[in-house]
Chain A
Amino acid sequence: MSDQNDIIESLVKKEYRYGFYTDVETETVPPGLNEDIIRLISHKKQEPEWLLEWRLKSYRQWITMKIPTWAKVKYQPIDFQSIVYYAAPKSRKEGPKSLDEVDPKLLETYEKLGIPLKEQERLAGVAVDAVFDSVSVATTFKEKLAEKGIIFCAFSEAVQKHPELVKKYLGSVVPYADNFYAALNSAVFSDGSFCYIPKGVRCPMELSTYFRINASSTGQFERTLIIADEGAYVSYLEGCTAPMRDENQLHAAVVELVALENAEIKYSTVQNWYPGDELGRGGIYNFVTKRGICKKNSKISWTQVETGSAITWKYPSVILQGDNSIGEFYSVAVTNNYQQADTGTKMIHIGKNTRSTIVSKGISAGHGQNSYRGLVKVAKSAINARNFSQCDSLLIGNKCGAHTFPYIEVKTPTANVEHEATTSKIGEDQIFYCNQRGVSTQDAINMIVNGFCKEVFRELPMEFAVEAQKLLGVSLEGSVG
């Protein structure tokens, strides 16, 4: 038994493989937040007046709001005045027109991350929009997508080129006053991805964004807006990394999805922000608001694999407004060392015959704390609504914790809501069984954990599923129970 504990102690160490820093000149604004900074950001981005007004309105709302404290996470208070709210890699006066114009050092960074944009452009499979600190660096496949009328570009570009769409949908799913971090994001968001799929178009490839925080003391506040017009389909992937730093960095993003009648949006995330070291120093605070709205007969599916960040606070949600609409949430959240995650979803049933499925897999190792928090709300109007929730927790070792906070509010007797929850521990017997067949303890844990997460991984697009499995292995390196 003590042997086993020694193994736990000695192996609870892992290295963050994306912790490099790219030496590019960055252009930043002074730290802190006030109306002048917001004006400066807006000015730098040459935004129209209405957007500046919206930002200021958000800011004025934000200063009246309190930091939410209901989540089961503990951390030192954030000094919002010491954060730099805008950092951009300094480039030529004009933005890059093609990949050839992008700073080679940036491209090198992406290659280290395993997403060589040039290669991807050739391989033809995934269109990538890469967001580095606050600005969007390059978008691949733009022309090919344009042939189908698909718009996939940096958010700031969309503001310039498609203001009518941005104006119509920005804040329509996550209003600026929604919550503390959403209000902050609305005031200072710098860039992100924008995507519009026209009526009846099935997007022929996976769209993908890679986010990276590079500069120190910066927050990243990206904003993503995806609109699938009537009958459209899109699958969207999002990946994130950050360099290793001692201090905590804030990431407060907002993602809004709009699925119009008969449309379908599949949104997959692999979040691998720097989680802090084995003593819990440093790491990203990941406070994210993600929400989608479903019109009649439409479907939104969130799949997330959360392995990074010191703190994860996010609840990708679906408002099932239209009749017969479908919401899905598939999640794997891993907390190792001193990571904390409070994550789940909200399924708001409004339309008739709406259906939702929640599958949450929480894995805790080291001193990690993992909470599932979910709300299933069925309004009176949601006749025959159905929900199925399954929340499973897996513990590795004796110092971690798993918690489940399901909230269910049902206003119609015709609804059918099911909730299942399990908690299990990777047994020494399971590990020994694998050992006896020649499989090492680390491989055994990976195998058992991957087995545990199978239902979620199969929702991910193929390449992403492979990456997610590897990432899970890296995240749990050394966590033996």
Chain B
Amino acid sequence: MNNRQTILEIKNLHAGIEGKKILKGLNLTIKAGEVHAIMGPNGSGKSTLSAVLAGKPEYEVTEGEVIYMGKNLFEMTPEERAKEGIFLAFQYPVEIPGVNCAYFLKSALNEVRKYRGMSELDAIEFLNLAKEKMKLLELPEDFLKRSVNEGFSGGEKKKNEIFQMIILEPTLAILDETDSGLDIDALRIVSDGINQMRKPDKAQLVITHYQRLLNYIVPDFVHVLANGQIIKSGGKELALELEERGYDWLTNGKG
């Protein structure tokens, strides 16, 4: 088990935004084939972690390092990280008016393929691929023609994120509160999509507030993030315990 490749190694990560310290010495190692869940109360730094890993410009790393697939993550631009196989499913996906989903995703896919030395897909090849994957997420026919996220319902936005993930086949998928704002049917569909991507050479980092999602996406490890650090790690049963007891018993103990 231990000889599987390390995909992500976070060592003593300190980071924040606009001078405010949010992550304060976070450590985490993710290996191929693993699904890690990060849970924690509001303001614990969950979204900061995903933003820092994806390279959002306004976040500042003050200390520590992150090695992704043997490379220094912080030497890569956001688009290089994406092309190297890091995918962030956004909590609040932005709208891009006038740019249709097909065009957007085809551009993204071909950037990634070019980078990986694969041939670019033409319009027809792309459409065939997209239509096949759309079925998995029960996306409507006209979906590809609509502007990216414009006028989408909350559920559609999240489905679109997962749809993009399935098409781009990332090595490391970071899912930032993908379950928020989903009804039970949408949650099931989205989770099925995420589980599709569970493969021996890939890994997932699932950030969530609620245990509910973890009924569908069963993690190998659960970590509790509080005050910028991981204060407890365990197996999937930890999530259930948190559901029952909340976070207080952990945070109080640590002070």
Contacts and interface: CB of A to CB of B under 8 A. Distances in A.
A143 B100 CA distance: 43
Given A437-B164, A447-B107, A3 B96 contact: no
Contact of A3 (B57, B82, B98, B112): B57
A447 B78 contact: no
B94 A429 contact: yes
Contacts of A462: none
Contacts of A429: 94
B168 A437 contact: yes
B151 interface: no
Contact of A439 (B88, B90, B94, B111): B111
A432 B78 contact: yes
Given A3-B57, A435-B82, A436-B78, A450 B108 contact: no
Contacts of A439: 79, 107-108, 111
- Most B CB within 10 A of own CB, among A3, A429, A434, A440: A434
A190 B57 CA distance: 54
A398 interface: no
Interface in A323-351: none
Contact of A447 (B87, B88, B104, B168): B104
B77 interface: yes
Given A432-B78, A433-B90, A450-B98, A438 B112 contact: yes
B54 interface: yes
Interface string A411-432: 0000000000000000111101
Contacts of A450: 98-99
Contact of B99 (A427, A432, A451): A451
Contact of B108 (A4, A437, A441, A452): A437
A430 B88 CA distance: 14
A409 interface: no
Contact of B77 (A428, A435, A437, A447): A435
Given A438-B108, A438-B112, A439-B111, A452 B78 contact: no
A428 B96 contact: no
A448 interface: yes
A433 B95 CA distance: 9
B75 to A, nearest CB: 14
Contact residues on B (Cβ < 8 Å of other chain), bracket: 20 to 34
A453 B97 CA distance: 10
Contacts of A246: none
B45 to A, nearest CB: 19
A101 interface: no
Nearest to B90: A433
Nearest to B100: A451
A200 B107 CA distance: 45
A1 interface: yes
Interface string B50-65: 0000111110000000
B200 interface: no
Contacts of B97: 451-452
Interface in A423-479: 427-430, 432-441, 443, 447-448, 450-455
B93 interface: yes
A455 B79 CA distance: 29
B31 interface: no
B57 A1 contact: yes
A132 to B, nearest CB: 37
Contacts of A428: 57-58
Contacts of B94: 427, 429-430, 433
Contacts of A451: 96-99, 147
Contact of A448 (B54, B81, B99, B105): B99
Contacts of B111: 437-440, 443
B111 to A, nearest CB: 4
Contacts of A432: 54, 56-57, 78
B96 A447 contact: yes
B24 interface: no
A452 B58 contact: no
B115 interface: yes
Contacts of B107: 437, 439, 443, 447
B83 interface: yes
Nearest to A453: B98
A141 to B, nearest CB: 32
Contact of B96 (A1, A433, A440, A455): A433
Contacts of B57: 1, 3-4, 428, 432
- Most A CB within 10 A of own CB, among B54, B88, B93, B104: B104
B82 A448 contact: no
Given A435-B79, A436-B82, A447 B115 contact: no
Contacts of B83: 438
A450 B58 CA distance: 26
Interface of A: 1, 3-4, 427-430, 432-441, 443, 447-448, 450-455
13 contacts: A427-B94, A428-B57, A433-B93, A433-B96, A434-B108, A437-B82, A438-B111, A438-B112, A438-B168, A441-B79, A447-B96, A448-B98, A450-B99
Given A433-B93, A447-B103, 15 more contacts: A433-B90, A435-B77, A435-B78, A435-B79, A436-B54, A437-B104, A438-B108, A438-B168, A439-B79, A440-B79, A447-B96, A447-B107, A448-B98, A448-B99, A451-B147
